[in-house]
Amino acid sequence: MSSIIEALNVSTPHEVYHLAAQSFVGASFEQPLSTGDITALGTTRMLESIRLVSKDTAFYQASTSELYGNSPSPLKNEGSAFEPRSPYAVAKLYAYWATRVYRDGYGLFACNGILFNHESPLRGLEFVTRKISNACAKISLGLQDILSIGNLEACRDWGHAEDYVEPMWMMLQQDKPDDYVIATGETRSVQEFVDTAFAHSGLDSSKHLRQEKRLIRPLEVNSLAGDPTKARETLGWKPRRTFDELVRDMVDSDLKRWKANQRGDAFPWDAPLYPDDKNIIITRYSLDR
């Protein structure tokens, strides 16, 4: 917490976007204590630091659709019941209410962005969407033969991460702090994601797919779909990219990376992040981690 306070004192920020967390649901079952410390208490450390030394700073908390779990309403909005089904979701629920407490109790401009699944080519390989797109690229190039996967029936509301960054900023530009659901309002199953990705790669998914019980969570969330009405009416936001565009973007990006890897080319992130600053370098990503 002392380092957070020091960072606030040095930077005197107008806005803080708190995105840090142990964010992999599967890993939270294996690491529940560290997930709670990082994801739940980490948010409280941020809020308390702002309260102490930077009370005029607007604060964005990255909440999650996992808060809702298997709650009964088909479309989840800001008033839907929470029913967390993982240590990750429980930790995020703590962080959600901590943000509300600091907003109502101390007058902080603090917002919860309840973002449903947002994906991109930068998604970690431990997440199912990137695991699928990466496998499609490798299989199409003869570098892999089988994609091992867990629950194919789970349904999620998937959007493109580039679309979801804008409403984070929009929330902090409002006259009053509030909480918003950011979603597309549509659900697709993991099976549909697989079929779309493999079809785009010219592959038959049935020939390369293997379900494994070890990849299924102890508690599963069957379906999550968000209702973005409030964000549309208050923020003027709506997603621009479709599900198919998202999947194609992820598959094409992984295919480009693996082709470059085969040629021995440098990846784009091997170049300086800022052309005028030779000292800032993004390190090479390990494709086989």
Burial bucket for residue 113 (CB in 10 Å: 0-12, 13-18, 19+): buried
CB 197 within 8 A of CB 132: yes
Catalytic residue selected from 35, 39, 43, 64: 64
Catalytic residue selected from 35, 39, 60, 88: 88
> Edge-to-edge strands of the sheet including 58-64?
15-18, 58-64, 110-115, 180-182
**Single-letter residue type at 135:** A
Residue 64 designated active-site: yes
Catalytic residue selected from 66, 99, 102, 119: 66
Q: Mark 178-214 as b/e (b = at least 16 C-beta within 10 Å).
A: ebbbbbbbebbebbbbbbbbbebbebebeebbeeeee
Residue 35 designated active-site: no
Residue 186 designated active-site: no
What is the DSSP code (8-state) at residue 247?
H
Of the candidates 18, 249, 35, 277, the residue with the CA atom closest to the CA atom of residue 121: 249
Element (H, E) at 246: helix 243-263
Q: Tell me the Cα Rg of the chain.
A: 20
Write out the two tokens for 101: 């407490």
**Single-letter residue type at 227:** D
CB 113 within 8 A of CB 182: yes
- Given phi > 0 = left and psi -120 to 50 = alpha, else beta, which region is 84? beta
Active-site amino acid positions: 64, 66, 88
